[in-house]
Structure 1
């Protein structure tokens, strides 16, 4: 008998019960943190992207100590807010926008349009999570880019493959698309010197021209499955 194996059925049941209890507690903690983040974002949407902690806790009807019990510090709160926002607001929009695209041109416009849509319809929350997560210097920002870049890489691979074009280099192209779109939307968030439609058209046209000018021999051949 292995030293790690339970000696009898009672020990096995006890170990299973302990695991279930720990797992339920972990799930409950995650759900509680997500619920608090959703409430914080609701306050942000009503009071602007930087309402301050006093306004947040007052509007939520909770104490600062409650937030401290659920988040280690401001960086932890910012990271959780970004992760929650990406999974609930940004990723679903990008997945939906990419799902029906068959060529690389609509793929680029879909990604650009999805980011612009998030900002135009949810400006305070978008600015809150991007500003605070950037200030925290979170590794989560890079992890988030990888998650979204994988979606773009897969979509590009499908669209280029359907056109009998080389899919080599779709990963670096995906990161170039994501970085360009995100930075342009951040610029547009503070300037808005053009309309949303003009921004999408300008960025998409530039990126489409860049992809057309690239050959498989000139770029790295990473695919979606090779992105760590």
Structure 2
């Protein structure tokens, strides 16, 4: 092929796709390195510390992120997709009951908050206005996982499956807020928190389970 010949549409598409993937991979690599720095230096290391630790210039960051808001949002999105969602997904099991499901989700969030708190505080504190939308989007994806798991768990108990979606959001919201409070107060142990949340939400699920029908005694005539 003559190097002076113009690229075909297919070749152009392949080139653009490779460039796009390379840029995404580069952004992800930078974000992962930034999160490592945050874990070492605390949740607010400052841009100068980040640049020094990365060994790159601010110009390079600007080539990969349009501004500080883009960097913050990209970091938040990356963190939700690689740290929080996989923990929740792995915690769910087709054999989970309502009780074990709630305990698994609560323990997954406790694990995130207690073992990776600097990174979580960094991504939530530095996200721009769209950060709320990114968290809401991640919540929606996690709630869909919970809805499916609840449907599998509660279906045999003849619980109205239409109620599993609001139940999933209720579980997720309660767990996240309770665990977030716990990280700032720590008035109870992690195990006590998990037990408390599991008991409270498990009671709500049991309240939606239809009671066993009483059997009238059969009188032999």
TM category, shorter = 0.7 to 0.9
For 2:69 and 2:151, the matched residues in 1 are separated by: 36
The count of residues paired between Structure 1 and Structure 2 equals 205
Q: 5+ unaligned residues in a row in structure 1: which ranges?
A: 1-9, 217-228
Q: Show the 5 A alignment for 1:110-129.
A: 110-129=104-123
Give 1:164 deviation, angstroms: 3.8
SS of the residue aligned with 2:192?
helix
Give 1:90 deviation, angstroms: 1.1
Aligned position for 1:16 = 10
Q: Which shows bigger deviation, 92-101 or 170-179?
A: 92-101
Q: Show the 5 A alignment for 1:93-112.
A: 93-99=87-93, 101-112=95-106
For 1:101 and 1:62, the matched residues in 2 are separated by: 48
Aligned position for 1:153 = 147
Q: Show the 5 A alignment for 1:62-101.
A: 62-99=56-93, 101=95
1:180 corresponds to which of 171, 174, 181: 174
Aligned position for 2:196 = 202
For 1:137 and 1:214, the matched residues in 2 are separated by: 36
1:189 corresponds to which of 171, 183, 188: 183
Structure 1 residues 115 and 52, CA, compared in 2 at 3 Å: closer, same or farther? same
Aligned position for 2:30 = 36
Give 1:66 deviation, angstroms: 1.4
SS of the residue aligned with 1:168?
helix
SS of the residue aligned with 1:49?
coil
Moved beyond 6 Å, runs of 4+: none
Structure 1-normalised TM-score?
A: 0.84
CA contact (8 A) 1:101 1:107 kept: no
Q: 5+ unaligned residues in a row in structure 2: which ranges?
A: 211-221
Question: RMSD of aligned C-alpha atoms?
Answer: 1.9
Deviations 1:48-104 (CA, angstroms, capped at 9, x unpaired): 111111111111111112112111222211221122112211111111110254211
For 2:46 and 2:162, the matched residues in 1 are separated by: 47
Aligned position for 2:213 = none
Structure 2-normalised TM-score?
A: 0.86
Give 1:215 deviation, angstroms: 6.9
